[in-house]
Structure 1
Amino acid sequence: MFLRIAGLIVPSLILLCGAGLLLPITAQLSNEYQQILTLTPYLLAIVVTLLGYGFNRSRILFAALNLSGAYWLIQNGLQTSLNQPDAFVLFSSISVLLPVHMGLIAFYKERGLFTPLGISRLLFIITSYLVLYLTWANGSLGLYLPDLPMSMLEMLLHEYYLSEAAAITFSICIIPILLSFTLRRTYTDAALLASFISALIMLSWFNHPLISALFVSASLIALAISVVQNSYRMAFIDELTCIPARRALQDKFSTLGKKYTLAMCDIDHFKKFNDTYGHDVGDQVLKMVAAKLNQVSGGGKAYRYGGEEFTLVFPGKSEAEALPYIEQLRETIANYPMHIRNQNRPDSNEKGQQMRSKPDDGETVSVQISIGVCEKTADIADPHGVMKKADEALYTSKKNGRNCTTAVHFKPEQKPKRRGQRKDYA
């Protein structure tokens, strides 16, 4: 779990660290490069907005609009001293509005862009910044200064620019962002969390030149990367079992060298099992088998080929070298007691606890797999040809009674060696 969370957030945090390291250098840039840096967030916002639209990622699009709206107001209204009433009220308003939108976006579920709910969310973001801009453009924003609560007038700490109200808003709005990231664990939520941290840093040290351009750019890049990461996961990772999918297997074929072994694995009697216990339990079986296969040792890699069929790839190994690891997996799955929960089990946790002690609360079943193995040879040099032979060996295992392994070239009288032990294979 920790590695999964770290893998999600670390790339975005690296971007923020990079922006922080570049911050002292920005003051030394020529006017031309500073101007380019100032325009960069607008270009990135267009790219991220198009990505969000193209991949139907409404939260990505909303986040890009939120960041670009705040950045546009900063560039047009805050390139002056905050001692001026209009500028001070505008900064205080942005410091509250930006995190509020971020917290709401993290809380949103994907409901599409061109639905009534999606359009209302879009208009809410645009309208809030447009009203703030029009009020500032009329020169009347400073008139609200005497009416502001003291929490918006007083800085939290003298070395930071955040007011007490903004600090409280950030403290409240980070809760839905952290909850969404912890529960969903998606690349989108990781990018939203990084954007939130970026906004906090930007507004706290607002006196640094070009800090808004750097950190808004870093946030938008994190959002763009999250779209790419999500797209890769959808294309190459099986959604149900969370192991590499068939497309990833096809890509793996192009990287295999002169020596490798493929194993085709199929769950025995899966259709009958699925019909008896239901599709939900069938999905649990697929997840269990995938999880066990994903623990393959010996340099092997597991892929979901389709349906109840999986593929194991052993680069640099012959059939004899791969078979001990394959047999170990088969035996592990066959010996694993899988508990089927009672379909009449109530949703109430209290009633469910009372039923756990009853002997009829579900049953334990054994899941078995049949395997066919084939290595690359001079006669079978193409990965697809090797897979076809492994598939034929798989059906031989089915005919031989299932729950066994059949190799194309390895003879039963041969005994593969592994850590000084010998074992025969069907």
Structure 2
Amino acid sequence: MTYLYAIFRHLFVYAALFILVVYFVEAQRPLLRDWFLPLPWIGYVALGVSAVIALQFGRSRLFWCCVMLAILLLIGHEKIDLSSEFSRRLPLIVLMILSYLSCVKDSGFSGHNVAVTLVKLFVVTVLSWAALTYLPALVQNHLSPMYTFANQIAPGLNAIYTPLEWLLVGLALVTCLLRFIFVTDNNHAALLLGALLVAIMPAYSGFELHSVLTLVLATSFVYAMLKDSFNMAFKDELTGVPSRRALMQYVNTLGRKYVVVMADIDHFKKFNDTYGHDVGDEVLKLVASRLNKIGGGGKAFRFGGEEFIMIFPRKTPQQALPFVEQIRQLIADYPIALREKPRPKKAPKRGTGKPNQGKTVKITASFGIAKRSSEFNQFSDIMKQADIALYTAKKAGRNCVQLAKQPE
């Protein structure tokens, strides 16, 4: 459910941006021409800023997208004298390059990686040009029904792309969409938006309209890089819950009344040594997923190792206690199935292999609760009190919740 929510959340943001851009380009063309015609450099500046940020954040794919879009914008300028055939094919070639970039990983900016990337982009360009040159004669008879169908829907469709070109556009967009679904983040959402806007560029011949689309793309690239970099800085990569840095930022927003809960997985080191770090990582993910469901307005953070912290704004320890108990019980009741042996590299022949049966174990966690008071008004002091209560819970047999001994 969380995965589907992430997909729809990203799609909603970028789809809304795409619809808004198409609306303005269609309905407000005179206004956009008045704005952008006197500023022919604005698209290049936006792409330049986006490219510099991509260099700083190591987003090589978005950097090369900016380069491709700058070339596309330059060719689209009315002062550039190039053959119409090349100008017609260029958006399709850029679209093929975008779909290729969406399927690879960021490769950095070392000399070797830049040279390899340039060679790969050149190969994609040559293959795209060859496909646009030689495929039409081979598949013309098969695509004639598609030409008729497009003409029945809207005669202008065939003026934008040929049936083969529509097929390639659809293939590129589906590739970007599938890649986004499998790797859902802002970078792939921005690449998908880039593919969509490049695909509709041939429908708008005006250079100033291309500048509008380019400006939107550059802005979306910057947003994607900053958003993902923010997530990397403020979210724990393993568990997905907010990190220690996010905790310290969140503390600054709290008022004079809140509760701090320290949580620690019982016997985690022994569990890790017995079953391995991979299983230990799964345990951390499990505990984090349970803590992330805390009610009562609580918010969970990974503090470090097997320790987590929960904050309850505007709550007393007695008010937070039932919610902490509920989470403690959820963790203790969840069975973890373990394999006794690693999965074999090759599947055994039918009838000869023995089932790789595993055993089920359970984990528990201990909790310590402390509140902000006049005596302990600094977060570090409150956290120490919660840690003392957590130590008391460990001495009491673990798998329990203890309140710090603080004056009312």
Give TM-score, length-normalised by structure 1. Answer: 0.83
Sort the Cα spacing of 1:256 and 1:146 in 2 relative to 1 into closer, same or farther, 3 A. Answer: closer
- Per the alignment, residue 108 of structure 1 pairs with 104
Sort the Cα spacing of 1:123 and 1:48 in 2 relative to 1 into closer, same or farther, 3 A. Answer: farther
User: Given the alignment, which residue of 300, 303, 312 partners 1:305?
Assistant: 303
- Per the alignment, residue 399 of structure 1 pairs with 395
Aligned counterparts of 1:352 and 1:191: Cα–Cα separation in 2: 47
Aligned partner letter, 1:309: E
Q: How does 1:6-405 map to 2 (within 5 A)?
A: 6-23=8-25, 24-28=27-31, 33-36=36-39, 38-76=40-78, 86-87=83-84, 89-122=85-118, 125=121, 149=136, 157=151, 158-160=155-157, 161-203=160-202, 205-207=203-205, 210-347=208-345, 358=355, 361-405=357-401
Sort the Cα spacing of 1:178 and 1:115 in 2 relative to 1 into closer, same or farther, 3 A. Answer: farther
- Per the alignment, residue 418 of structure 1 pairs with none
Query: Which range moved further: 363-372 or 93-102?
Result: 93-102
Contact 1:369 1:402 in 2 (8 A): yes
Could you report, residue by residue, the CA deviation over 1:77-102 in whole angstroms, capped at 9, with x for unpaired residues? 679xxxxx922x12321132111101
Aligned counterparts of 1:96 and 1:402: Cα–Cα separation in 2: 63
Aligned counterparts of 2:133 and 2:242: Cα–Cα separation in 1: 60
Aligned counterparts of 1:406 and 1:147: Cα–Cα separation in 2: 75
Could you report, residue by residue, the CA deviation over 1:171-209 in whole angstroms, capped at 9, with x for unpaired residues? 222243122211111211111011111112222x22467
Aligned counterparts of 2:370 and 2:180: Cα–Cα separation in 1: 43
Per the TM alignment, residue 350 of structure 1 is displaced from its structure 2 partner at its CA by 7.6
Query: Which range moved further: 185-194 or 25-34?
Result: 25-34
Sort the Cα spacing of 1:292 and 1:28 in 2 relative to 1 into closer, same or farther, 3 A. Answer: closer
Sort the Cα spacing of 1:148 and 1:333 in 2 relative to 1 into closer, same or farther, 3 A. Answer: closer
Could you report, residue by residue, the CA deviation over 1:116-153 in whole angstroms, capped at 9, with x for unpaired residues? 343232365489989x9xxxxxxxxxxxx99994689x
Aligned length: 388
Contact 1:62 1:125 in 2 (8 A): no
Could you report, residue by residue, the CA deviation over 1:337-383 in whole angstroms, capped at 9, with x for unpaired residues? 1111233322457879997x94x611111111111100111111122
Sort the Cα spacing of 1:353 and 1:316 in 2 relative to 1 into closer, same or farther, 3 A. Answer: farther
Aligned counterparts of 2:243 and 2:265: Cα–Cα separation in 1: 17
Could you report, residue by residue, the CA deviation over 1:196-225 in whole angstroms, capped at 9, with x for unpaired residues? 11112222x224673211112211211111
Contact 2:74 2:80 in 1 (8 A): no
Sort the Cα spacing of 1:180 and 1:115 in 2 relative to 1 into closer, same or farther, 3 A. Answer: farther
Aligned counterparts of 2:95 and 2:289: Cα–Cα separation in 1: 39
Aligned-partner SS, 2:37:
helix
Sort the Cα spacing of 1:221 and 1:350 in 2 relative to 1 into closer, same or farther, 3 A. Answer: farther
Aligned partner letter, 2:223: I
Per the TM alignment, residue 42 of structure 1 is displaced from its structure 2 partner at its CA by 0.5
Aligned Cα RMSD in Å?
3.1
Per the TM alignment, residue 31 of structure 1 is displaced from its structure 2 partner at its CA by 5.1
Aligned counterparts of 1:220 and 1:94: Cα–Cα separation in 2: 19
Contact 1:52 1:58 in 2 (8 A): yes
Aligned counterparts of 1:202 and 1:382: Cα–Cα separation in 2: 57
Per the TM alignment, residue 62 of structure 1 is displaced from its structure 2 partner at its CA by 1.3
Aligned partner letter, 1:264: M
Aligned partner letter, 1:306: G
Aligned partner letter, 1:59: R
- Per the alignment, residue 416 of structure 1 pairs with none
Identity between Structure 1 and Structure 2 (%): 30
Sort the Cα spacing of 1:77 and 1:349 in 2 relative to 1 into closer, same or farther, 3 A. Answer: farther
Aligned counterparts of 1:164 and 1:75: Cα–Cα separation in 2: 26
Aligned counterparts of 2:393 and 2:278: Cα–Cα separation in 1: 27
Aligned counterparts of 2:254 and 2:103: Cα–Cα separation in 1: 44
Query: Which range moved further: 63-72 or 118-127?
Result: 118-127
Contact 2:92 2:199 in 1 (8 A): no
Does 2:39 correspond to 1:3?
no
Aligned counterparts of 2:390 and 2:188: Cα–Cα separation in 1: 42
Sort the Cα spacing of 1:350 and 1:202 in 2 relative to 1 into closer, same or farther, 3 A. Answer: farther
Give TM-score, length-normalised by structure 2. Answer: 0.86
Aligned-partner SS, 1:27:
helix
Contact 2:254 2:313 in 1 (8 A): yes
Query: Which range moved further: 379-388 or 231-240?
Result: 379-388
Structure 1: gaps spanning 5 or more residues: 80-84, 133-144, 412-426
